[in-house]
A and B are shown apart, each in its own frame.
Chain A
Amino acid sequence: MFLALREIRHEKLRYGLIIGMIVLVSYLVFILSGLAYGLAQQNTQAISSWRVDRIALNKDANDSLSQSVISKQAADKVKLTSHEAYLGQTGVVAKAKGQAKLSAQFLGIDRDQLIYRRLKVTAGHKPTKANQILVDDSFKDNGYRLGDKVTLNAADGQYRIVGFTHNAKLSVAPVIYGSLGTWRTLSHLTPDFQASGIVSARANFQAKGLSTLPMSQFINKLPGYSAQNTTFSFMIGFLMVIAMVVIAVFLYILTMQKLPNYAVLRAQGIPAKVLVTTTVTQALLLVVAGLLIGAGLTLATVLAVPTGVPMSFNLPLLGAVTGGILLTGVVGALIPVKVILNVDPVSVMGG
């Protein structure tokens, strides 16, 4: 630690540049991870808020809620308990007088069932009549207010916003909760159709005559969800690998430049273990400093970006990214260890 700190203190520019590089790498990884996680969240926030385990869809819907319609006849064959709920889904464009149009996901639900019970309202109240809707907070960010009358698509009726709910997004669009009757109207369906799907909080739920699948599988089949996550994962993965190579190369060059000094110290009997510890400690100090500054920059960015930017973090994700970069630093520092162990004190003895 002594040698590591003294060298950093003396070679401020050199080590400042290395820390700067680690700051940029960690900042980029943090931001990308935040965006990836934020975007993934916006695909599934509404589903997560229901805390359900399985979903039943029409067998011919290819596991897609938007393609699924369950007839009343088919729905009647499924016995629902308090752990299940009907769900009708359709894409809509919402508009209110003096407000911008908003593309949204309309979700029709039953007031006596699970999803309705689990909805959390941040302002106003849950809908109690057919012409009332509960909407995601992003409507508020776009100027919509409680009591606003909203038209959905080209339908004749108007729907009053009676409440706001937080983090209600599905496939990156804000969610509008209303009745199943409204869903039928918006989808141009007759009362012969019950819902798009049935969700259940029971892990062993099976719906006779329907295709029942776990929510994880359903989420992975959301349009674009897997492709988007895979893309981000690859970007972050490649970035980590490139960061590792760059940091390793920098640390290797640094170590090679120090070999004459290390040879002198070895000649004087300083154990190789001390030099290896110094090198690894120094790498860790540099990486930790870079990570802390990178995290600070990320925090500043999060505070500065508009609320519409899908960026969010969670501790396991941050822990994994931080651990990955730390590991990168240690691996980078360990690569030249063999060179340090084999440093030849004779190389600094005069002729």
Chain B
Amino acid sequence: MPALALQHVNKVFGHATNEVTVLDDINFEAVSGEVSLVIGPSGSGKSTFLTIAGGIQTPTSGSVMVQGQALDDLSGKDRDALRLNRIGFILQAYNLVPYLTVRDQFTLVDQVKPTGNLDESALRHLLEQLGIAALIDQYPAELSGGQTQRVAIARALYQNPDIVLADEPTAALDSARVKVVGQLLRDLAKAHNKAIVVVTHDLRLQEFADRTYAIMDGQMSLN
């Protein structure tokens, strides 16, 4: 059973002459233990795909299954719980709460989800792997773009989710950091049996992917 599956998903915005089809009959599967890459240019529908896959947005038609559970059957509250417990989001923008230190970003997760998160040593290891262990008491405004992005990655992984959905996780990183993040995501998939889905236009991540999808004008194909 795939960890995440989209079947014949369509997403249409607007009405009549203003109607725009953003996703057109998308079929997608992400399997535990694999990194799935969705590559496409800006405006291709990548982020819409990701929000629908994560249950933030509902499709106009088609179905989304998370670990065999149809999102259509879930209430808004249950979808919140699903995102909190099983899905980790790495967002492209506004990744962190500006008035929380790096440490407090993790404490916030503990406040709303007291169990199932990484323990102290696993978190320290993750922060060291990402090269941000020394930034633990800094506020987001004191971090560079790349550091912010890496903290956002750590924050998403701290919840220990089964599925990680990442929106351009390497947009602000140099090539060396791209390798670190790519390898981290790959290790996470292999060693911890997570399903990793990355939407990006960064071709440097291709070498870490088990399968690569291309998305263009709302249509997706498996390369």
Contacts and interface: CB of A to CB of B under 8 A. Distances in A.
A10 interface: yes
Interface in B87-136: 87-89, 91-100, 104, 107-108, 111-112
B42 interface: yes
A6 B105 CA distance: 11
B56 A349 contact: yes
B91 A271 contact: no
Contacts of A271: 77, 80-81, 84, 112
Given A10-B139, A346-B56, A261 B80 contact: no
A348 B80 contact: no
Interface residues of A, number: 26
A2 B108 contact: yes
Contacts, number: 84
Given A269-B82, A270-B84, A349 B167 contact: yes
A264 B95 contact: yes
Interface string A274-318: 100000000000000000000000000000000000000000000
Contacts of B92: 349-350
Q: Chain B interface: which size bin?
A: 35 or more
Given A269-B87, A271-B112, A7 B168 contact: no
Contacts of A346: 51, 56-57
B84 to A, nearest CB: 3
Contact of A261 (B43, B47, B97): B97
A321 to B, nearest CB: 32
A20 interface: no
A7 B99 contact: yes
Given A6-B104, A346-B57, 7 more contacts: A9-B99, A267-B91, A269-B80, A274-B111, A345-B56, A349-B91, A351-B43
Interface of A: 2-3, 6-7, 9-11, 260-261, 263-272, 274, 345-346, 348-351
